[in-house]
Structures are given as C-alpha cells and as structure tokens.
Copies of this chain bind each other. A is one copy, B any other.
Amino acid sequence: MADKKMVEEITSMDVDFAQWYTDIVRKAELIEYTSVKGCMAIKPDGYAIWENIQAELDKRFKATGVRNVYMPMFIPESLLEKEKDHVEGFAPEVAWVTHGGLEPLQERMCVRPTSETLFCDFYKNDVHSYRDLPKVYNQWCSVVRWEKETRPFLRSREFLWQEGHTAHATAEEAEERTIQMLNVYADFLEEFLAIPVIKGQKTEKEKFAGAEATYTVEALMHDGKALQSGTSHNFGNGFAKAFDIQFTDKDNTLKHVYQTSWGVTTRLIGAIIMTHGDNEGLVLPPRVAPVQICIIPIQQKKEGVLDKAYELRDKLTQVCRVKVDDTDKTPGWKFSEAEMRGYPLRLEIGPKDIEAGKCVLVRRDTREKIEVSLDEVNVKVPELLETIQKDMLERARKHREEHTYVAKDYDEFKKVFSEKSGFVKAMWCGSRECEDQIKADLSVTSRCMPFEQENISDKCVCCGKPANKMVYWGRAY
C-alpha cells in the first residue's frame, strides 16, 4: 500500500486538470515555489530538461547561421518608448528599477520583458553597410513580465527563453528568416519533443506589439486547450525607422534594415507535461529525457544483483542516458517514482533474471513489459527508445486530430465549444469585431490562420459575411 502512496497523491487529470498539472510539476520535482511571488525555482530535474532543449535548439539555430550574443538586462525608459506599439504592449507589465545602490536613478529602467529595443539600439551602431548584413543574433536569458496570475512554466513573472533578433537588407530576406525559424521550431517540437503543431499566422489582434506579422506554432494539450509554443515575428522596417537603423546599400543609397525576432520559452516544459503526461505522472519523450532508462534492481541485497545493475549501467551508458536506483526504497516504490519522473524506460533485474540471462524492460508510455536477453540490451534499448519517441508523436497527433472540429455556422461553433474542447476550424471574415464577439461569447481566441488552408465554407462563422480565411480557434493557456 505504501508503494502506491506517491501515485495516489496525484489528482486525476479527469477530475481536475489544473491540479493534476500542479501535482506533476511538484511531485516530479521540476520546480519549487519561492518567496518571490510569481517566480519559481527550477529544480535539477526540471532544469535538466531545459538544458536538453537548449542544447538541441542551439545546434539547430547554429546550423542556420545564428550566432549567440548577450545584451543588458535593463532597458532605459526612453529606449523602451521609441516604438509606439511596442511600448504600449509592454509598459503595463514590466518591473521598474528606480534605485542603484543608495541613490535614485536619473532615468528609471525596466527589466527586459523582451529585447527588441536593446537589439535595435545595438544594430543602430553596428550596421553601416550592406556588407554588415544580415545580422542573425540570438540570446539565451531570462525576461520579466509582471503577470497577475502565474502558473509554473506556463506563465511566471520571470521565465527563461531564447530570443533571436535579426536584421536584413531586404523585406524578402526578413520574411524568409521569419518562416525559416518558425520551421525550426515546428521541426524541433515534432522531432524532439514529440509535439505536433499547427503552423500559421496570427491575426492583427493577436500579433506581437510592433510586428507587421506574427507566425506561431500551436499545440493542443491533453485537456483540449491550445498552447502557443513558439512565435516568429516579421517587423518590416518599422523598428528600423523608429530607431534609425540605416545602411548604405550596393546602389550607394541609405536604406532602413528589415528585422525579425523569434522565441521559445520554458513554457515548452509545460507543453511536454500537458501533451504526454498521464495519471501516474510525467512521461518524457526519450530524446529530451535527462534519464532515458532507469535500472531498478530487485532483491538488491542478494549477492550479485547490484553488481549486475552497475554492469548494465556501464554498458548502457554507451548508447543512452541511464541511472540506477540503488536507494533502500522498495522496488514498488521505485517503480512508482520512475513513473512519476517520466523516465521513458525502466529496466528490472533480479536474481532470477540474472540466472536466466535476461531482464525486463517496461515502457513508460504504454506500460508494456518486454523481456530482453542481457546480450541484446544495448541493441534493444536504443530501438525501443526510438519506437517510444515515434509512438508518442503519433499518439499526440491522433489526440489532436480527434479533438479538432469543424464549424460552418455560429450555432455549430457555440455547440462545439460548449460540449467539447479542442481546436475548431472555421472561416473568418477578417474583422476584429468578430474576434471580439467570439471571445466575449465563448472565451475563445483565434489561434492562427494556418498555412494549410481548407475551404470549409464561404461565410464567416460569426457574422455570416463573405470569408476566405480559415482560422483555428481555441481556448488557450
């Protein structure tokens, strides 16, 4: 009974999804709350996931020519105010530094909520000629937004992210880079995190403060809510005009640069939890899992058992990330804990197994048990990890497809959102009024105008006027 205690403490996701989520982040030891309201401490098991995300994304960024830099964390108020839409979007939610040491500052500064203004200020001095372009820079850092309601990973006052900021000689090149980075995010989410996404463009209402166009990758969580998982913005030359970033082009004339920015955050860890987790705890896709297989010795006090477990660990280390749970807890407790922590595979090995020259592998995602000869372990484990990775993506895709609906008129639209939860595909006339109406009626927002358009009808789902844009709608985190 005691073995089950840990598991029993998780709220079932069908009973209370929000509580289930909170239980997992705490019991899988991903975060801890702190004395700093709205800010969390990311614990080793949570931070190790972020380190794997960083390493993989950074590799993919660099393959496209991105170089990392570091800008100051402070933005003087006058700098933040240079681009009108941008300051309106961010000023209400920044933290202000007013004193340095014992003295008041001459000009107050905010802690960066995002760094467009700092990069613009930098590019203004760093870009002179077409030879200096493009600039394709990125930074890994933390940013601060003074949110009223916070949730671990999904919305916190401080969060970790990367922000790419680029400058180009032409509008076409900026648009290409914007889409290129969106594709990097989409591929990364699908291939590494096993999270399928819808790629598309945000509406005017939902786009980033100061952008000409915002593109997004949208994922569907287990509870049918949408999660914006990464965004890529094309700024045109609006920021360049506000900050006076000009270069001498090949034709010897002065021109403004065209800019982009793009980012993903620790929110991705929330996406992993809510896409793959179950009532036993976290389920980590093998590629991002800090521990891919956990070896649990059975009757570990019997002679030879622990030795064999360590031998297997040393062998498996060559092909995957492995740990041995050699604590003095019971095997049942260890099983529960391995499930809670989401290790993709566990390996059970006891005296009888050793005698028979085999061990038992248990998949976290399906709980399937597989007997494997000890000689074959180093072949089978990597194969199984690949299978799990693929199956998890397919399962998530199937879940999304089963929770994606179509609505042709407003009655249908309202019916779906009152009875089900998920994405609804519906036509939209392009007016802000319809978006506002839908939000007021149903707390539903436009997630994106997907690149893959379908012709569902020729009328706006809200007002009935002519419409030729299909939009994904949903309730969002």
Contacts and interface: CB of A to CB of B under 8 A. Distances in A.
Contacts of A95: 74, 97, 99-101
B146 A73 contact: no
Given A34-B121, A48-B68, A68-B48, A144 B73 contact: yes
B102 A92 contact: yes
Nearest to A131: B327
A74 B39 contact: yes
Interface string A80-99: 00000000000011111111
A127 to B, nearest CB: 12
A71 interface: yes
A142 interface: yes
A122 B34 contact: yes
Interface string A48-67: 10110000000000000001
Nearest to A159: B70
A71 B41 CA distance: 5
B79 A35 contact: yes
Interface in A24-39: 32, 34-36, 39
A470 B17 CA distance: 65
A44 B69 contact: yes
Contacts of A101: 92-95, 146
B73 A47 contact: no
Contact of A36 (B34, B76, B99): B76
A96 B97 contact: yes
A125 interface: yes
Contacts of A68: 44, 47-48, 51
Interface string A441-462: 0000000000000000000000
A96 B94 contact: no
Contacts of A125: 32
A381 interface: no
Interface string A360-392: 000000000000000000000000000000000
Interface residues on A, range: 35 or more
Contact of A47 (B51, B70, B98): B70
A129 to B, nearest CB: 13
A428 interface: no
A205 interface: no
Contacts of A48: 67-68
A34 B73 contact: no
A157 B76 CA distance: 14
A111 B93 contact: no
A87 to B, nearest CB: 13
Given A97-B111, A98-B98, A121-B35, A44 B67 contact: yes
Nearest to A121: B35
A79 B48 CA distance: 27
A126 interface: yes
A42 interface: yes
Looking at A48, A67, A96, which has the most chain B CB atoms within 10 Å of its CB? A96
A34 B142 contact: no
Contact of A160 (B41, B70, B75, B111): B70
Contacts of A160: 70
A315 B65 CA distance: 20
A3 interface: no
A439 B42 CA distance: 43
A120 to B, nearest CB: 10
A48 B74 CA distance: 22
Contacts of A50: 70
Contacts of A189: none
Interface in A112-139: 118, 121-122, 125-126, 137
Ranked nearest first, the 6 interchain pairs of A and B with the lowest CB-CB distance are A39-B72, A44-B67, A100-B146, A96-B99, A42-B70, A101-B146
21 contacts: A32-B126, A35-B121, A36-B72, A36-B75, A36-B76, A36-B109, A36-B118, A39-B72, A39-B73, A39-B74, A47-B70, A72-B158, A73-B142, A73-B144, A73-B158, A74-B95, A92-B101, A92-B102, A96-B98, A101-B146, A141-B142
